[in-house]
Amino acid sequence: MRIGELSRRTGVNTHQLRYYEAQGLLEADRGANGYREYDEEAVLRVKQIRHLLGAGLSSEDIAYLLPCATGEAPDLLGCPELLAAMRSRLRRLDDQLDRLAQSRDALADYIDAAERMGSRTYPPFGDAAPERVPA
């Protein structure tokens, strides 16, 4: 099947399919006319890629995991290297979540403090208009 049909069958645009191919996640043969030709297995492979991307994995992680993937969900065989890679990614996500929680708590503290101060001390610089704080 050509790239347009693979796109229609998977709901993934052709630009993304070319990216997957460039990252080594998807393989295509070239016909005599130079067009990409995908086999039926490509539909399953693209669905696996989308699920793994949805889990927050990078294309590099996915390239490593795909040989261990079976089924659309996909199910992953529990080889030690695979488990180590997934645990490493999970630790990175946990670290990011911790940093986000700390930032959220600090911001909430600033908001609470500002609300306690109330508007009676505003504006702090006389009649000067306050600068906007970017969102």
Q: What is the CATH number of the domain that holds 89?
A: 1.10.1660.10
Say if residues 110 and 103 touch (Cβ distance below 8 Å).
no
Report if residue 126 sits inside a domain.
no
The count of structural domains within the chain is: 1
Report if residue 134 sits inside a domain.
no
pLDDT at 135 over 70: no
Report if residue 132 sits inside a domain.
no
Report if residue 83 sits inside a domain.
yes
In this predicted model, which residue has the larger pLDDT, 117 or 106? 106
DSSP state of 26: S
Report if residue 88 sits inside a domain.
yes
Q: Which domain holds residue 32?
A: 3-118
pTM: 0.62
pLDDT at 61 over 90: no
Report if residue 67 sits inside a domain.
yes
Q: Mind listing the pLDDT tens digit for each residue in 75-95?
A: 777 777 778 877 888 898 899
SS3 67: helix
Report if residue 123 sits inside a domain.
no
Q: Mind listing the pLDDT tens digit for each residue in 116-134?
A: 887 665 566 555 555 665 6
Report if residue 14 sits inside a domain.
yes
Report CA torsion sign: 27, 29, 35, 38.
negative
